[in-house]
Structure 1
C-alpha cells in the first residue's frame, strides 16, 4: 500500500483502503481533539481520509469532477459490500435528519464534522467493541478535493439518527 503526502492511499481501491479501515476500527481514540492531513478525532471519534482526490480549482469542465466522483463511488460501493458481508446491512445515516435537527440539540461528533462535507453515511456497529464504523464520500465545496472517509465513533453519536435510505 502506498500513501501520498496527505497520508491517504494513492489509489482508491478496496484493497488499498481495507487495511486502513481495519486499523481505524481498533485504534484508540485520542485524549485530545486533533486535525491533520489524514483526518481528525477526539475522545469519542476518529475520521480518516482514505483517499483524497485532486482539487477542482482549475477544472475546466464538469467531466473531470464526474470522473473522480464515479471512481470514488465505485470504491465506496465496493467497501460497503465488504463491510456488509462482514457485519450485516448498514444503517444509512441521513446526516441532516435526526433528533438534533430543529430541536435545538447540538449535533454530536463526528456527525457535526461529517455533515460539513456530506449528507449521508453508511454505518455498522462493530462486534466486540463499543463503537461503530461509517463510510462516506465527501467534498467541502465544488473546488475542493473529494474525500473517501472512514469514521469510527461511540454508539451515542448515532442515537436519534434516522435511516436515510439508499443514496
Structure 2
C-alpha cells in the first residue's frame, strides 16, 4: 500500500490498517521467525513499527527530539483512541519486569518490547478462540538515543500475558 507519490501512507488510519493486518496474520509455526526491519514475527507473536520519527545521528538537539516525540505521541494518542472505541479501555502493562531476566526465558514479544519501552497499553480483541485469542499492545519506544522514536504495535498469544 502506497500513496500516489509512492511512499507508504502515514497517520492513524494507516496505523489501524497495519494493526488489522497483523491481528489477522497467523504466527509463524515451530521455531520459524521472520524479520524485515519493520515487522518481526516468531512463534506466538508479531512486533511492528507503525511509525518511525527522525533519527538523531547528526542532530540530537532538544528541539529535534521534542518535535519527534510530539509527532509520535500524537499518533499514539489517535490510534489508542480508535482502539479504545473498538474494544474498550486498555490495561497498562509494565514492561520493566521482563527486562533481562537472567536464567528465565522471556516470551516474545515482551523480551523485545522491554528493551524499547517501559510500558504499553493492551487491548484484548474479541475472538472465537476458547484459549482467549490474542492481545494487542501499543507503545512508544526507542532502541538507543541516536535511533528514531517508534510507534510500536505488538500482538501476542493470550497465554503470554495473563489477564
Q: The TM-score by the shorter chain falls in which range? A: 0.7 to 0.9
Distance in 2 (alpha carbons) for counterparts of 1:103 and 1:36: 28
Q: TM-score, normalised on structure 1? A: 0.83
* Cα distance in 1 for residues equivalent to 2:60 and 2:13: 31
- What is the Cα deviation at residue 2 of structure 1? 3.0
Q: Distance in 2 between matches of 1:60 and 1:138?
A: 16
4+ residue runs over 6 A deviation = 100-103
TM-score (norm 2): 0.85
Pair 1:140-2:128 in alignment: no
Gaps of 5+ in 1: 161-167
Q: Is the 8 A contact 2:142 2:150 kept in 1?
A: yes
Q: 1:52 to 1:85 in 2, by over 3 A?
A: same
Q: 2:27 aligns with which of 8, 29, 46?
A: 29
**1:37 alignment partner, SS class:** coil
- Deviation of residue 54 (structure 1)? 2.1
Q: What's 1:115 paired with?
A: 114
Q: Which runs of 5+ in 2 are unaligned?
A: none
Structural RMSD (CA) = 2.3
